[in-house]
Amino acid sequence: MPAVDNIVEIRDLAFSYGAHEIFKSVSLTIPRGKVVGIMGASGSGKSTLLRLIGAQLRPSRGSVRVLGENIHELDRNDLYRMRRKMGMQFQQGGLFTDLSVFENIAFQMREKTDLPEDMINDLVLMKLNAVGLRGAAKLMPSECSGGMARRVGLARAIALDPDLIMYDEPFAGLDPISCNVVGKLIRRLNDALGVTSVVVSYDAQESLRCIDYVYFLADGKVVAQGSTEDVKKSEDPFVRQFIGGLPDGPVPFHYRQNAYAADLDLPA
Ligand code: ADP
Ligand code: MG
């Protein structure tokens, strides 16, 4: 396959869950080798966007190209082949609680490759070493701290040597030190493995430490974007609200709702 400059290219993407419109028109590009952030409030559709990139969901309009191929036009075999090139760290960690740390990572290697067991052993230890947890191979997930479990998730995301790693809220629920460790790991894995990373997060402070470029999602669109440096200096009210964590601004505090009077059954 010819090398492409953009690992992901999304053009005019629209998507709804039933009548609930999530994306009106989203266009964005994830260039090779970069760590790109996708930020937005909870419910803005960040996890949905990752599912559209992984073709777990289909758009109602527009295109998603991954490594140069329109992911929603691939047949089953080609889609599976493509999914193996994408490593995913899930929002909820998603470790198998009844499998050890080692087995959690070995699982998809056994499922998706024909590698002999001794090679799987070496590869799992290599992945764990990359996240600093080789010594934790025998632990059960219940014996791992939140930060460790997140790192096991990172090791699992890189298990099959993906070209693209997608992280869904990698910092959520972590203490500041673990956040820092995870952020540094995202950066280090990206650069050392020569991959491309997407970090989906509502946490601007943490994300901005490890990313190169960021897109802000709101109202079903990209409302702002820029390099990390530019965004930190930006005067854009949305960006300011987001980075400052301000309750008031372009992002409304209230979930979409009826007029108060109507809900209270008062005359308007
Ligand atoms: P984020 O990750 O930015 O918090 P999500 O992509 O999870 O946002 O969700 C975007 C919106 O879509 C939310 O309002 C959510 O309630 C809704 N949603 C998410 N998944 C589904 C689903 N499977 N069916 C219907 N609505 C959904
Ligand atoms: Mg989400």
Domains belonging to the chain, first-starting first, are 33-56+74-250 (3.40.50.300)
**pLDDT tens profile 153-173:** 999 999 999 999 999 999 998
Note the pLDDT of residue 253.
59
Ligand 1, atom 5, residue with closest C-alpha: 45
Task: Quick: pLDDT tens for 33-86.
Answer: 999 999 998 899 999 999 999 999 999 999 999 999 999 999 999 999 999 999
Q: What is the pLDDT of residue 205?
A: 87
Low-confidence ranges of the chain (pLDDT < 50): none
CA-CA distance, 205 to 105, in Å (whole number)? 30
Q: What is the pLDDT of residue 264?
A: 75
Q: Which secondary structure element, helix H or strand E, spans residue 102, and what is its range?
A: helix 101-112
| Ligand 1 in reach of 43 Cβ (< 6 A) | yes
The pLDDT value recorded for residue 244 is 82
Q: Is 181 helix (H, G, I), strand (E, B) or coil?
A: helix
Give how far Cα 180 sits from Cα of 6, 174, 207, Å: 28, 9, 10
pLDDT score for 155: 94
Strands (E), the chain: 6-17, 20-31, 35-39, 61-66, 69-70, 86-89, 164-168, 196-201, 213-218, 221-227
Instruction: Supply the residue whose CA is at minimum distance from atom 11 of ligand 1.
Output: 43
Q: Is ligand 1 within 6 A of the CB of residue 104?
A: no
pTM: 0.89
Beta carbons of 30 and 36 less than 8 angstroms apart = yes
Task: List phi, psi (to 5°) of 60.
Answer: -85, -20
